[in-house]
Amino acid sequence: MKRSIATVCLSGTLDEKLDAAASAGFDGVELFEADLINSPLRPDEVRALADARGLTIDLYQPFRDFEAMPEPDFRRAEAKFDVMEALGAPTMLVCSNVSPHAIDDDALAAAQLLELASRADARGLKIAYEALAWGRHVSEYDHAWRIVERADHPALGTCLDSFHILSRGTSLDTIDAIPGEKIFYLQLADAPFLSMDVLQWSRHYRCFPGQGALDVRGLLARVLAAGYSGPLSLEVFNDVFRQADPCRTAIDAMRSLILLEDEPLPEPAALNGFAFVEIGVDSPEIEDLLRAMGFAHVGPHRSKPVQLFQHGEIRVVLNHGVGEDDPEVVAIAVDSSDPDASAARAEALLAPRVERRRGAGEADLTAVAAPDGTAVFFCGPDWLDDFLPTGEAESDGVPIERIDHITLAQPFEAFDEAGLFYRSVLALEPSASAELAAPDGLVRSRAYAAGDVRVVLNVPALASTRERSELQHVAFATSDALAAARAMRERGVPLLAVPDNYYDDLEARLGIDTAPLRELGVLYDRTPEGELLHFYTARLGGRVFFEVLERRGGYRGYGALNSPVRMAAQTGGERHAEGAGA
């Protein structure tokens, strides 16, 4: 189907918005009236600009506060029809009246919309009438449809908007009763569940389908079943998108639509956990740390300044060729049952390919770039052959077994974009967002998981003008956290110190004996499903640290309750180190 995006979704000036929409592959746009009013381009120039970029102008929107008025303003409407003719925009969105002067009278609304449609029709234009969720007398789509049906004019149809419908929880049954050709337009938006005034919710927190909590997919199926054949058009008001790079937002938007349409998207290949995590480093200290954690240096890469370390199923690749500053996670690799299929899906979802130099006979690893620049590799079984064996043996004294999850700090503007990237490209399922209180601000955290592939994205709840820590970590699963902590301590691994106050509170809250935890600095959480025991290494001088965690029973979380104490300890440690260095 044709894909369209409202200009209000994108930041920038109108020409920048059109450029962004075209470069992401959209077929058309909804022109948001303010974007035209604020532009120095005349309507015919906008039309030419859109034309030159292969974009149609599918909708002119919104025309407000028109129907059910004591004196409907046809002069204003005719002036906007002039603009639409110059733009080549076939359809005007009329949203339900919010004026205090509006009259609660469906017959009047229908009569005035009929007159409007006749005037539009005389110019070859159409009117799509939509219920705003906060309309004064018309706030449900089925009500708007009844008015359209009553007016009964071929140039008058309805516009359905997933946010306005799903935010109110209106039954979708009436959709089946609307003839497909009377649905003139379909606007799609998702949103997180928020308990707030629906207008504010709509104006600030909408997001692209797949980023929120609304069943946009279910609604789309109903609308298509009703016979709708117009554009799938995104209309998202979002404070972050308003200030983000419009080209990135447009790609994010297109990815959302591709995922929503499903076909002809290649199926995701089954993933069997993480193949490796790659850390960019410029110092050898991390090698000592990995050995102290029981890793063996499996060997150097055949042709690159890259070293592989392994412990059980955990593989850590140290790349001395990237990472000019402090150590950071530069790539994650999933073990795919079909790397080519994984890569094809990623490509279909517009993930940018990462090109890496490859020597003769070396494995052809496909990688794509996540929104924060992290490379995501799709590995089959043969990539290990690229490393020359040293014969070094793993130490068996540290019981850590595999990568449980990888937590990546995201740039503020990329949180939803990154979430949709992992959700679509790797077919990971999101869990609910958590909010973590760090000493330097609130952090939003959301996990995306499928089987043993778990990625946790962290982002500050608000961007800041102050510098602050944006940490990453790799969490290793163990079947015995206490033994792992003891072994690491004995082997000289620097572990994060946990305050005694934490254990005092744990005892007060849960009445458990915390002595073994306290001795080793192991944190604890329990839910009805199970228990979590976990601990952290100190930071590697840069953004990266490691976690070791033991999941008992059906514990599925990530210890969010303990994140504040961890973050405070890291901040305190950092300040202490700064003080000592000064």
- Give the residue numbers of the binding site: 130, 161, 187, 235, 405, 473, 547
Closest to a second copy by CB, 122 vs 512, is: 512
Asked if residue 226 lies in contact with residue 175, where contact means CB atoms within 8 angstroms, the answer is yes
Closest to a second copy by CB, 198 vs 344, is: 198
Question: Least Å distance between CB 383 and a second copy?
Answer: 34
The residue within the footprint of a second copy, chosen from 49, 108, 354, 565 (CB under 8 A), is 565
DSSP single-letter state for residue 495: B
Closest to a second copy by CB, 415 vs 555, is: 415
Examine residue 552 and tell whether it contacts a second copy (CB under 8 A). no
Question: Least Å distance between CB 504 and a second copy?
Answer: 7
Asked if residue 438 lies in contact with residue 514, where contact means CB atoms within 8 angstroms, the answer is no
Q: Name the E strands within 281-313.
A: 296-300, 306-311
> What does the alpha-carbon distance between residue 157 and residue 149 come to, in Å, rounded to a whole number?
8
Residue 333: phi and psi, rounded to 5, are: -130, 130
- Residues between 221 and 240 with contacts to a second copy, criterion CB under 8 A: 239-240
Question: Least Å distance between CB 188 and a second copy?
Answer: 22
Residues with Cβ within 8 Å of 567's Cβ and at least 6 positions away in sequence, in order, are 436, 437, 438, 439, 443
Examine residue 437 and tell whether it contacts a second copy (CB under 8 A). yes
How would you class 108 by CB atoms within 10 Å of its CB: exposed for 0-12, middle for 13-18, buried for 19 or more?
Answer: middle
Question: Least Å distance between CB 439 and a second copy?
Answer: 5
Closest to a second copy by CB, 213 vs 412, is: 412
Closest to a second copy by CB, 194 vs 363, is: 194
Question: Strand 523-527 and strand 472-477: pairing?
Answer: unpaired
Examine residue 514 and tell whether it contacts a second copy (CB under 8 A). no
Examine residue 581 and tell whether it contacts a second copy (CB under 8 A). no
The residue within the footprint of a second copy, chosen from 51, 124, 179, 200 (CB under 8 A), is 200
Question: Least Å distance between CB 421 and a second copy?
Answer: 18
- Nearest residue to 24 (alpha-carbon basis) of 53, 58, 67: 53
Strand partners, 436: 443
Binding flags for a second copy, 57-96, as an x/- string (CB under 8 A): ------------------xx--xx--x-------------
- Residues between 405 and 424 with contacts to a second copy, criterion CB under 8 A: 411-413
Closest to a second copy by CB, 119 vs 222, is: 119
Instruction: Report residue 244 as tokens.
Output: 């983000």
Closest to a second copy by CB, 380 vs 439, is: 439
> What does the alpha-carbon distance between residue 344 and residue 362 come to, in Å, rounded to a whole number?
21
Cis peptide leading into residue 90 (ω within 30°): no
Which of 111-119, 315-323, 433-441, 513-521 is the region at the interface with a second copy (rule: CB under 8 A)?
433-441
Question: Least Å distance between CB 266 and a second copy?
Answer: 33
DSSP 306-357: EEEEEETTEEEEEETTS-SSS-EEEEEEEEES-HHHHHHHHHHTTPPEEP--
Binding flags for a second copy, 243-282, as an x/- string (CB under 8 A): xxx-------------------------------------
Closest to a second copy by CB, 285 vs 500, is: 500
522: Cα separation from own chain's centroid: 32
Closest to a second copy by CB, 385 vs 505, is: 505
Q: How many residues bind a second copy (CB under 8 A)?
A: 64
Continuous H helices in 386-470: 415-425
How would you class 431 by CB atoms within 10 Å of its CB: exposed for 0-12, middle for 13-18, buried for 19 or more?
Answer: middle
Residues of each annotated binding site for a divalent metal cation:
130, 161, 187, 235
Asked if residue 493 lies in contact with residue 485, where contact means CB atoms within 8 angstroms, the answer is no
Examine residue 441 and tell whether it contacts a second copy (CB under 8 A). yes
Residues of each annotated binding site for Mg(2+):
405, 473, 547
Q: Look-up: residue for tokens 């746009």?
A: 29
What is the number of other CB atoms lying within 10 angstroms of the CB of residue 457?
26
Rama region for 84: left / alpha / beta (φ>0; ψ in -120 to 50; rest): alpha
Closest to a second copy by CB, 360 vs 508, is: 508
Examine residue 462 and tell whether it contacts a second copy (CB under 8 A). yes
Instruction: Report residue 225 as tokens.
Output: 């079943």
- Residues between 476 and 505 with contacts to a second copy, criterion CB under 8 A: 497, 499-502, 504-505
Rama region for 169: left / alpha / beta (φ>0; ψ in -120 to 50; rest): left
- The site for a second copy (CB under 8 A) is made up of 11-13, 16, 33-34, 36-43, 75-76, 79-80, 83, 194-197, 200, 239-240, 242-245, 411-413, 437, 439-442, 460-466, 468, 497, 499-502, 504-505, 507-509, 511, 564-565, 568-569, 571-572, 575
